Each structure stands twice: as C-alpha cells, then as structure tokens.
Amino acid sequence: MAQWQVLVVDDELHIRHILRLNLEAAGIGVAEAATGAEALAQVSVACPDLIILDLGLPDMSGLAVCEALQQKPASCRIPVIVLTALGDEDTHCPGMVEMITKPFSARDVLSLIGTVLGGEAA
C-alpha cells in the first residue's frame, strides 16, 4: 500500500509521467489530471494527501482550482504544491504550501513532499 496519495495536475503529459515514475518509485500513490475540471472531479471522489498543481492549465487557472478546493470542507485542508514555469515568486493561492519552478529536480519534489506531509519519501 502506498505511503501517501498525491494528485498531479498538469496539462503536459511528460511532466505527469516523470512525476508518476519518481513518486511511485518512492512508494507514493499517484493520480493524474490534465485539466482543472478533471482535478476537481477526482478530488470530489477521493481526497489525496497532497496536490501538485500547475498554474497554467488549459481550462482554468491553477488559482481557480485552489479557490474551488477551498470552498469545500472535504478538500479545503489538502496542501497544494504549485508547479509553474512562470517563476513568479509573488504568486500565492489558497492552500498553497510551496512553489516549484520548472524545470525541477525529482529529488527536490520528493524531499518537499516528505517535508509537507511530515515524513520522509523514500
């Protein structure tokens, strides 16, 4: 059984694939969504322990996804790590605990997940 469940939300297939491979190798369960609507639908069915969320989604902004998550009691406490190519240090959205700028190191992502969730990702 996976140590944690993480939802990776990014419209770029290769980003989702890289994260899935590395997270699963560390014993972390992964669900994927390519759009904000897919992410919100998945969270309404099963809340992950953490969400890695790209700000630049095709159907809605990552900020709008964060705001929608905050409106529901079941999802308002899910920590969000924002993934962006923008590198805008002033960006903040509700529920955001950290920001990762593309390109990123899988090792740094795993370390950050461990820090946020209070454990160590293998």
Q: Total domain count for the chain?
A: 1
What's this model's pTM, rounded to 2 decimal places?
A: 0.92
Query: What pLDDT does 86 receive?
Result: 66
What are the per-10-residue average pLDDT scores of the chain (122 residues)?
88 97 96 98 96 95 94 94 76 86 91 87 56
Query: What pLDDT does 82 receive?
Result: 93
Rounded distance between C-alpha atoms, residue 96 and residue 116, angstroms: 11
Q: Does the residue 96 lie in any domain?
A: yes
Q: Does the residue 107 lie in any domain?
A: yes
CATH number at residue 11: 3.40.50.2300
Q: Does the residue 120 lie in any domain?
A: no
Rg (CA), the chain: 13
Return the closest-CA partner of residue 19 out of 118, 113, 117, 119: 113
Q: Does the residue 46 lie in any domain?
A: yes
Structure tokens at 111: 């370390």
